[in-house]
Amino acid sequence: EETITIVKSILIGILNPDNKARNEATAKLEEMRKNTGLLLVCLIKVLHSSTETKEKTVAAVLIRKLLEIQDDQLFNPHWKALSPEDQQIIKALALEAFQKESDKTLLPKMTECLVQISSNVFNMAPSEQSTNVWPEIMSHAVNVVMAEPNEENLPQLENGLRLFEGIYGFIYESLSNEKNTQQLSVLLEKVAGLMKAKHLGLASKAVKTVSEMSFYASKKELKQFKDLILPIMTVTLNCFSEGKENELKICCRAIIEMSTDQASFLFKSHFTDLFILMGKVSEKKDFDDENLRELGFEVIVNLVEVKTTFLSADTDKLKVLVEALFKYALGMEPEVTDDWATPTQDSYFDEEFIYEKEVSAAVSFLERLIDSIGSEKLLPMLSEFIAKLLENTSDWRFKYVGIMSYKHLITHVDDMVTVDSIFPVVFENVSNQNAKIRYACLATIEELADTFKPHFSDKYSKELIPILTNIFNDSTLKVQLESCEALNTVMSNTDEVLLASLSEQILDKTFGIFLKETLPNNLRECLLNVVATLVSQVDKLFAPYANKCLSLICDFFSKSYTNKIHKSLYGNLIECITLIGPYDTAVYHKIIPDIVNAIIEIQNSIPLSTDPIREYLQDSIERLIRVLKESFPELIPKMIESVMKLVRSIPEMSVSSNPEEKFKIDDLLKSATSDPNEVKVKYESVKTSSTEEMASALETLNKVIEALGELYLPYIDLTNKEIFFYLTYPTNEDIRQVSSDLLPVLLEIIKKSNNKESLVNYSKLYTSEMMKAVDSEIDNETHGYILENFVEIVEIADGYLVKEEVNQFFEKILSVFDKVEKRRIALLEKKSTIENTIIQKKIKGKQAVDEDEEEDDEERMEKDLADEVADIEDIQSQMADLIGKLFATHKPYSQDVVNVIITKMIPKYFRPEASTFENKMGMYLIDDIVEFLGQESLPENIWHEMAQALITYAGNEECSLRQAALYGIGMFAQNTKVGFEKYSYDFISKIYQALGISIENKDEEDWGLAKDNAIAALGRIVQYQNSAVKPEDLPNLVEKWLKGLPITTDETEMCGQHEFLCDILLNKPDLIVGNNYENAVDIVKVLAKIYKSVKYSEEKVNNKIKQVVETLLKVNENFKAVLESLSQSPDEKMQKKVKKLLSD
């Protein structure tokens, strides 16, 4: 009782108008929060028993806030920490308080408090037990809905409806189960009846409840809602007509929430009326809440995004909507305010891109319409409207809206020529008298340079760069800032020689402004970015300006750092110094120790997880590390510690609310005096998360390690400690992926140290950690990513496990494989069920409208499932690669593993009912055994069975399965020591069959891989088993191989086959040139295509081609004639390639 008295005094004190009394009450509240459980129990007792409305009001708000569930939570940790007894007390008293309360102003706050408690209760309980979790509240909510409305029970009914809606998501399954088939229908009918209430507060709550019920309804159940759309629109219209703004917002939001893929068919018959109604909402200019107009647009655009046919087929409606959006945008302020003209943030990047709410909203809606309806239909229409806006001279806002709209819409255009008619208008108006129009033109130039890179800069940079640098002196700060950004984007895509010729002009203008005494830091930042972009783009051509620029920037940084001013510019200044420094090493090397110390001091004095300087420091460290390696090795330890600090500093994430966070008294009072039913229209911005910064920091660490190489060896253990934690970091897959990238890099360094024992020990350690990561990973893409790095680790380590460890490795991978396989099978079963449903419906014939909609949903679900199955199958394929690499590196210890694969896995994958994917998995395993273990490691009967399997599937129509078998044939030819002649003609026959399979209706890349592997298999037969082919048949085989060159798709086969071609020409040319040199033309064409091709060749192959040219092609008369002919070929590409072949 004493504690309750204290709590009551706190509640009264919080409402005291005297600041001192309020602060004292707040301090006591914070002290009591140290025992949140006791505080909650006391508050609920006050809410239940107090006779003072003010006390109960604040108590209700405090309970709701204390138990609020954050976006990343299922339940509030304070609730979980309560004892079962205290939870029961709070549940019982909260419900009793709600049931007996009659105060109209207090009831809504108690309702929200009760909904928050309910959310915690139901979210903590297993879903299948929802009926038994809190039956009293379920019963009360249902009873309230079923009550007959009258004047006396109106507040209870209205708030009871909100309670029912608030907990419906938790209880709907128990209301719609087989035993209560009619209860849901009865409840829906009752709620729908309440939409007819004259009291619009109750009617709008009923609309919101119907919307919530539709969200959880099955497709079959949604049919009951078809007749409710018109009543919903009637309530919405009444709210609009009577000026009930909050109720109107509730209705509009309810319609938006109903506009799902599954429920969109409900609106088909009423879309025209809804379009007219929302048009009235969006046109009304005297709402107290200005966001309501946007909500009118949102209803229509959201519905069109879900079902584009509502608008795409009606050009007239589409024009009406577009015109309405432009009119809305033109409602922006007519004045250029100081707030807009003079941004006060330290960084221009913190500025909103479009300042005016109306313009921002209109452009956003237009872009969403383009994305949903398509640019082909919408862009011509928008172009007409924009042209009219640009022609209007009566009000500057027309031109501004036109240019800003154009700026955003060009991002949906592929060809610059289709929009370049507006370029002159944009270029001319960079000097317009109105600052906003100047800004709009600069922002558009920035977008043009980025969207149409490099073509826009190629054509216009010489003209635009002088114009943009002159605007540095503009009288409006916002325009100055945007001129810098536009220049940066133009320069980033400008030819370096042209840009270098303009460098002096750019630098004179830049430093002429930068060195002024009174200059805002956001402009200095943008000017430094101009310098950084220029240096990065022109590279060594910046050398003539390096000394002077470096001197000016170092001097400014030194003064700023000494006097602790311009702190927001430190990152930009360090960036410029490390970019320019390499072009004036005499000065740069003198200051490097000071720069390193400055970076470390800055890191020690800022919150790196949130400070924007972080990215600048990371990039600067990457540039510095190579210089330190060459000239300042004594500074390397400091720099490594600096990088490790970047890695350690974030992310700071919590899955619970912060118990140390203090309530803001103003927010609390606002909650206590506001209407919780008031709907606030809010558009949230998206911020870069700390987890993304962590991934970036790990990438920086990776680059540092790669740059330092063996010098990083002393820091391996320190790094392992950090990396192992992030390999299984739960909330961000990028962090897990980049962490896995680091381990092969570290292991390579260990290997180069030539300490075999260390290599073995670290390899086993990394294997253990990667196995944990593979076992725990749930994201498909990341799973595959980690497996790729795992394969690399096994390859680098090369024979680090003993036989028992090889068996354990395989056993663990097989365990993970089985777990993934269960997921695949479950998805396939689900997919099969959906496919059967679709087939059955198609058999029945024509469907009703709503059934057509349901079929669309099922087909989308089937596609999603198919995509996920494909992802899982990719993971399993990568696991097969890992097993193959295990064979390759542990051949002497793989026999037990092979026995398991041969006796258990391969029979499973080739059983009669096995799927194509299972056949492919079996083929991958056969390929691994054939390639990495070879004939001598297997009994003769097993080797024979391998050959038969390869023969069986080498002519399969499925490209990926055929490719695996053909690859296996090539490996079989390479690794068979005796007896290949028993299979040679069966193999050759199947290869010829495979080469005859048409590309029609096949994936081009898959077909290309299969074709390349067929050619490579022929090549290996020629290379390793030509004696197994009859002499009279060999020329045909060689010619077939030659006709398939060059290898164009399978990168793993390219260089090997192309080098073999050179070897034949250098050592046994008679084998390939053909009778009377009939193959000479093909040979020269292949060599010309391969030579110095980035894709098809490498240095070793290029060198051998040079030998072939010098010793055969330029010497042999037949080849000389071919070269002469092809060098004059009408095929210009081939002509150039042949001339290159001869001239190099």
Pull the structure tokens for residue 568: 């927001």
Q: How far is CA 284 from CA 280, 289, 956, in A?
A: 6, 11, 66
Please check whether residue 980 is in contact with residue 1028, taking contact to mean a CB–CB distance below 8 angstroms.
Answer: yes
> 335-349, 432-446, 511-525 — which is least confidently predicted?
335-349
Question: What distance in Å separates the CA atoms of residue 256 and residue 261, rounded to the nearest whole number?
Answer: 12
Report the candidate in 1053, 1056, 1045 with the shortest Cα–Cα distance to residue 1088.
Answer: 1045
Categorize the per-residue pLDDT at 648 as very low, low, confident or very high, splitting at 50, 70 and 90.
Answer: confident
Largest CA distance in the chain: 113
Report the candidate in 1091, 979, 1079 with the shortest Cα–Cα distance to residue 1037.
Answer: 1079
pLDDT for the residue numbered 72 = 67
Pull the structure tokens for residue 67: 């138990």
pLDDT for the residue numbered 877 = 81
Please check whether residue 1067 is in contact with residue 1075, taking contact to mean a CB–CB distance below 8 angstroms.
Answer: no
Q: DSSP letters along 1041-1062, please?
A: HHHTPSP-S-HHHHHHHHHHHH
Categorize the per-residue pLDDT at 510 as very low, low, confident or very high, splitting at 50, 70 and 90.
Answer: very high
| pTM passes above 0.95 | no
Please check whether residue 770 is in contact with residue 792, taking contact to mean a CB–CB distance below 8 angstroms.
Answer: no
pLDDT for the residue numbered 681 = 38
Please check whether residue 109 is in contact with residue 125, taking contact to mean a CB–CB distance below 8 angstroms.
Answer: no
pLDDT for the residue numbered 657 = 35
Please check whether residue 254 is in contact with residue 298, taking contact to mean a CB–CB distance below 8 angstroms.
Answer: no
In the chain, the percentage of residues whose pLDDT exceeds 70 is 90
Q: What is the pLDDT of residues 1131-1140, one digit of tens each?
A: 878 888 888 8
For 937, other C-beta atoms within 10 Å of its C-beta total 17
Residue 334 gets which letter from DSSP? S
Please check whether residue 505 is in contact with residue 463, taking contact to mean a CB–CB distance below 8 angstroms.
Answer: no
Residue 851 has pLDDT above 50, yes or no: no
Q: What is the pLDDT of residues 267-299, one digit of tens each?
A: 999 999 999 999 999 999 999 998 999 999 999
Question: What distance in Å separates the CA atoms of residue 468 and residue 492, rounded to the nearest whole number?
Answer: 14
Categorize the per-residue pLDDT at 1143 as very low, low, confident or very high, splitting at 50, 70 and 90.
Answer: confident
Sole residue written with tokens 């031109």 = 399
Residue 131 has pLDDT above 80, yes or no: no
874-891 CB burial, b ≥16 within 10 A, e <16? ebbbbbbbbbbbbbbbbe
Question: What distance in Å separates the CA atoms of residue 251 and residue 271, rounded to the nearest whole number?
Answer: 16
Categorize the per-residue pLDDT at 616 as very low, low, confident or very high, splitting at 50, 70 and 90.
Answer: confident
pLDDT for the residue numbered 744 = 96
Question: What distance in Å separates the CA atoms of residue 644 and residue 651, rounded to the nearest whole number?
Answer: 13
pLDDT for the residue numbered 226 = 92
Task: Provide the H-helix boundaries in 347-395.
Answer: 357-373, 375-391
Q: Residue 102, SS3?
A: coil
Mean pLDDT value of segment 962-989? 94
Pull the structure tokens for residue 236: 């919405």
Question: What distance in Å separates the CA atoms of residue 318 and residue 372, rounded to the nearest whole number?
Answer: 13
Question: What distance in Å separates the CA atoms of residue 345 and residue 568, rounded to the nearest whole number?
Answer: 10
Of 101 and 150, more confident: 101
pLDDT for the residue numbered 177 = 61
pLDDT for the residue numbered 359 = 94
Of 809 and 868, more confident: 809
Residue 869 has pLDDT above 80, yes or no: no
Mean confidence (pLDDT) of the chain:
88
Of 527 and 416, more confident: 527
Q: What is the pLDDT of residues 546-586, one digit of tens each?
A: 999 999 999 999 999 999 999 999 999 999 999 999 999 99
Categorize the per-residue pLDDT at 110 as very low, low, confident or very high, splitting at 50, 70 and 90.
Answer: very high
Residue 669 has pLDDT above 70, yes or no: no
Residue 355 has pLDDT above 90, yes or no: no
Q: What is the pLDDT of residues 619-645, one digit of tens each?
A: 898 899 989 999 999 999 988 988 888
- Evaluated on CA atoms 608, 609, 611, 616, the torsion sign reads positive
Q: DSSP letters along 946-972, please?
A: HHHHHHHHTT-SSHHHHHHHHHHHHHH
Categorize the per-residue pLDDT at 1128 as very low, low, confident or very high, splitting at 50, 70 and 90.
Answer: confident
Task: Provide the H-helix boundaries in 15-83.
Answer: 19-32, 36-49, 53-66, 77-81
